[in-house]
Amino acid sequence: MNIGCGLYLIIYAFAYLRDLVAGSDRHTGLLASGDVEESSPEKDTLYRSYMELIKRAPLLKNLLDRTRRKPLRDYIEIVYDLSKAMQGFYNASPYSNKEVAERGITPGDQWHFAINGKTFYSKGTNIIPFDPFYARTTNDDVRWILESAVKSGQNMLRVWGGGNYQPSDSATAGGVYDFYSACDELGILAWSELIFSDTVYPVNGFLLESIEPEVRQNVRRINRHPSNAQWAGGNEIEGIVTGSESTLSNGQQILDEVSTLFGSEDLALTSSQFLYLFQDFLYNIVTSETRSVPYTDCSTTKGVLSLDPYELRLNNATAGEIYGNSERYNYDATQAFNLSTYPVSRWEDVLSSPDDFKFNGTVVESRDHHPPAGNLSWPNPNAPQGQAQLTEAVNMWLPTPGTSNSNQTFAQWCWSTQVFQSMNMVAQIAWYRRGAGKGENNLGSLVWQLNDIWQGVSWSSIEYSGRWKVLQYGLTNVYTPVIISPFWTAENQTLEVLVTSDVLDSVQGTAQLTWYDWNGTALNVSKQDVTVPSLNNSEVLYASGLSSIIPSGHNASDVWLLLNVSAKVGGKSVTNEQYFTPVSLAEANLSDPQIKVSSKVSGDAILFTLSSSRVAPWTWIDHPLHTIGYFEDSESGAPLNG
């Protein structure tokens, strides 16, 4: 069992895109000029690939069913909204009708994906390299990760710019396994990045000559896949550069130095190294290879001042307005569920927070690379900081593990860190989904990270072995189309309960709130019919004052609230449940629940039944080592555990 890090979350509020996938095949130079005959074999082939993608993706299939009378070229578009006028910017594509539409959203800027004019909420995770040794990765390994993403309700994956270019498929030169072709088949959009990450690159002729063919060939290869949704120039570099202005003695030079290194009078002498590389050089390569896949300079960015010419906003922003991406690094366990510390942004790309059988022993610390050692010291001399953050989080929010058996205690610590990670992530994702109906109009969240490159302390939701961690089941819950969520503000003792929907039409359903004590006795039940507009919320409860919120005559440590919602989506029943505890589980009056497990073989399935004499938070079923799979609800077929 891996240790789950649950202490920090990075948010990318994707602030802009110009258009979405069209899958141009640049190998043949098909879209070099944007001029293609009205009818051609190439066009027919691409149309068929689009149709296959739409049929396989549940979201796109739903749109297809409702827009059958529209031509296929109208199915996919990207709507890009800015508060500043962007008149006349239009990228023609022979295969999809794209436009830059303005909604005048202020303050700041805004963008969202839309298909045939229908906005949708992007839900997903981040992909890192699957193995330290590329050739060791198999199709089965990758297929399991991608199918797990689909099973948990995801529709977009970010290919991290600190890793490697993912292959198209095992049949393409250099490919060892299927990635983009598998995304095409499964209906997952891929946010692709050029492989530049977390540093300032010294721009010179040698660097430019070496990276030009690398970037061009990979963009050309990947663009033919309809799953490719966008290109980012790199990972987190813009923030490093703009932040260096105030923290480094040469910070302004990094951003604004006169560029005399290039050895060419054709280059603007006032270009900075950063701006030249990411605003000009890489942008020109990508846009020369595609007219249908948008480019952003960085995974984390404040957006642009202009699209034509392409000009980054950087720090040219008005205080209090919302621009581009936002990030939340939080290793303070006391702030893990403090709503006031969660970012308010347009779009979220979510990152998770952070003797052989001794939790703080040498073996575990040697696998903990947070914070990084900064040198070749072993074990990591900074690992105690990361271990302390995990320890503090568990002690604060969960019962502290402790038995007379050191192996069992170690397993409890591993388990508890995974539970905290899921609790923290689910709470934040619910907050961002709530934002779709608020002023920030948040329309996406991508979690860091989906997979693992090796065994060890990690932010992943799936272990290197393929085993689902607690977070993967948590994502399945919070990425359900219709969810019910509690939002507790401790400062003013306010509890808000919302039903949130990312369904493209209005949804009707029923919400139920049930207060229990820890013995399992129902104390108070209330039901309410709800109607939730598309990409919005419906309020079920808003109450202040803890003493008036909890059932009369009970202490906060003795009770908890179960939240349920059921609704009809596309003719099928959708259910979701969450819980609210007025105090931390570390302070709750829990007692031995006397858990019992029974199983029965039914055909090809094994049915497990759990029972207890009292409430048992975070009770889980695990499967044996080397078994790859997940547990699912016997009625809905959805992944479910605990």
Write down the pLDDT at residue 404. Answer: 77
pLDDT in tens, 468-497: 999 999 999 999 999 999 999 999 999 999
Q: Please tell me which residue, 245 or 219, carries the higher pLDDT value.
A: 219
CA distance 574 to 477: 11
Across the chain, what does the average pLDDT equal? 77
If you write DSSP's letter for every residue of 15-63 in order, what string do you get?
---S-------GGGTTTSSS---SS-HHHHHHHHHHHHHHHHSHHHHHH
Does the structure show a pLDDT above 90 at 95? no
CA 308 – CA 457 distance, rounded (Å): 44
Q: Which tens digit of pLDDT belongs to each residue from 547-563?
A: 999 999 999 999 999 99
**For residue 245, what pLDDT is reported?**
58
Nearest to 97 by CA among 80, 117, 77: 77
The predicted structure's pLDDT at residue 154: 96
Q: How distant, in Å, are the alpha carbons of 141, 553, 591, 619 from that of 614?
A: 40, 20, 8, 12
* Torsion-angle region of 384 (φ positive above 0: left; ψ -120 to 50: alpha; else: beta): alpha
Q: Where are the beta strands (DSSP E) in 215-334?
A: 228-232, 295-296, 304-307, 310-312
Q: Following DSSP, what letter does each residue of 564-599 receive, concatenated?
A: EEEEEETTEEEEEEEEE-SS-TTTS-------EEEE
Question: Is the confidence at residue 367, as pLDDT, over 70?
Answer: no
Q: Which residue has the higher pLDDT, 191 or 305?
A: 191
Give the count of beta carbons closer than 10 Å to the beta carbon of residue 631. Answer: 17
**Quick check: 431 pLDDT over 70?**
yes
Answer positive or negative: Cα dihedral of 206, 208, 209, 215. positive
How high is the pLDDT of residue 363?
57
pLDDT of 422 above 50:
yes
483 contacts 499 by C-beta, under 8 angstroms: yes
Q: Indicate the burial class of 37 (C-beta count within 10 angstroms; 0-12, 13-18, 19 or more).
A: exposed
Q: Which one is predicted more confidently, 219 or 351?
A: 219
pLDDT score of 322 more than 80 = no
CATH class of this structure's domain 481-590: mainly beta
Other residues' Cβ atoms within 10 Å of the Cβ of residue 572: 9
Q: For 314-357, what is the HEC assignment?
A: CCCCCCCCECCCCCCCCCCHHHCCCHHHCCCCCCECCECCCCCC
Question: What is the per-residue pLDDT across 503-528, written as a single tens digit (0 to 9) for each?
Answer: 999 999 999 999 999 999 999 999 99
> Cβ–Cβ contacts within 10 Å for residue 509, how many?
24
**Percent of the chain having pLDDT more than 90?**
45
Banded model confidence at residue 74, pLDDT cuts 50, 70, 90: very low
Instruction: Compute the residue count for the chain.
Output: 642
Can you list the positions of beta strands (E) in 412-535? Answer: 444-447, 482-489, 494-501, 507-517, 522-532
CB atoms within 10 A of CB 337: 18
The pLDDT tens digits for 169-183 are: 998 877 899 999 999
Name the CA radius of gyration of the chain, rounded: 25
Lowest mean pLDDT among 6-10, 407-411, 585-589, 612-616: 6-10
pLDDT at residue 29 is higher than 60: no
Cα–Cα distance, 294 to 304 (Å, whole number): 13
Cβ distance 640 to 633 under 8 Å?
yes
The pLDDT of residue 174: 79
In the prediction, which pLDDT does 10 show?
33
- The pLDDT confidence band at residue 244, using thresholds 50, 70 and 90, is low
Q: What is the DSSP letter of 34?
A: S
Q: Encoding tokens for residue 98?
A: 């794209």
Tokens 């575990």 belong to residue: 364
Region of 594 (left: φ > 0; alpha: ψ -120 to 50; beta: rest) is left
Contacts of 214 (CB under 8 A, 6+ apart): none
SS (H, E, C) 82-111: ECCCCCCCCCCCCCCCCCCCCCCCCCEEEE
> Is the pLDDT reported for residue 155 higher than 70?
yes
Task: Using pLDDT thresholds of 50, 70 and 90, give the confidence band for residue 627.
Answer: confident
pLDDT tens digits for 247-273? 555 555 555 543 333 444 333 332 378
- Residue 463's pLDDT band (cuts 50, 70, 90): very high
The answer to whether 514 and 561 have CB atoms below 8 angstroms apart is: yes
Confidence grade of residue 441 (pLDDT, cut at 50, 70, 90)? confident
CATH of domain 26-312: 3.20.20
Distance CA 126, CA 350 (A): 8
Confidence of residue 397 (pLDDT cuts 50, 70, 90): very high
**pLDDT in the model for residue 624:** 83
- Which 3 state secondary structure label does DSSP give 158? strand
Domain definitions of the chain by residue range:
26-312, 481-590, 591-642
Pair 223, 293: CB distance under 8 Å: yes
User: 3-state class of 253 per DSSP?
Assistant: helix
Check residue 369 and give its pLDDT.
Answer: 66
pLDDT of 582 strictly over 50:
yes
Average pLDDT rounded to a whole number, residues 585-591 = 96
The residues annotated as belonging to the active site are 236
Q: Which of 67-71, 187-191, 309-313 has the highest mean pLDDT?
A: 187-191
Q: How far apart are CA 240 and CA 373, in angstroms?
A: 20
- Residue 341: burial class (beta carbons within 10 Å; 0-12, 13-18, 19+): middle
* Torsion angles phi and psi, residue 118, rounded to 5: -100, 115
Structure tokens at 44: 């027919």
How far from the centroid of its chain's Cα atoms is residue 116's Cα? 24
Going by pLDDT thresholds of 50, 70 and 90, the confidence category of residue 366 is low
Is residue 37 predicted with pLDDT exceeding 70? no
CB atoms within 10 A of CB 391: 18
pLDDT score of 605? 84
Least confidently predicted of 237-246, 296-305, 398-407, 418-427: 237-246
**Dist. CA 608–CA 475, nearest whole Å:** 22
Give me the pLDDT at residue 475, please: 97
Name the pLDDT band for 318 (thresholds 50, 70, 90). low
Instruction: Write down the pLDDT at residue 612.
Output: 94
* Packing angle of the helix pair 406-434, 470-478 (nearest 10 deg): 20
Lowest average pLDDT, out of 278-292, 301-315, 444-458, goes to 301-315
Is residue 501 scored above 50 in pLDDT? yes
For residues 400 and 586, the answer to whether their CB atoms sit within 8 Å is yes
The label of the residue with tokens 């397993």 reads: 411
Higher pLDDT, 203 or 466: 466
Helix (H) or strand (E) holding 238: helix 237-247
Q: Report residue 467's pLDDT band, with 50, 70 and 90 as the boundaries.
A: very high
Mean pLDDT of 304-328: 72
Cis amide linkage into residue 624, ω under 30° from 0: no
Assign 3-class secondary structure to 194-206. Answer: CCCECCCCCCCHH
Q: Which of 59-63, 259-263, 403-407 reaches the highest mean pLDDT?
A: 403-407
Q: Is the pTM of this model over 0.85?
A: no
| Amino acid occupying residue 68 | R
List pLDDT tens digits, range 109-146: 565 666 556 778 889 999 999 999 999 999 999 999 99
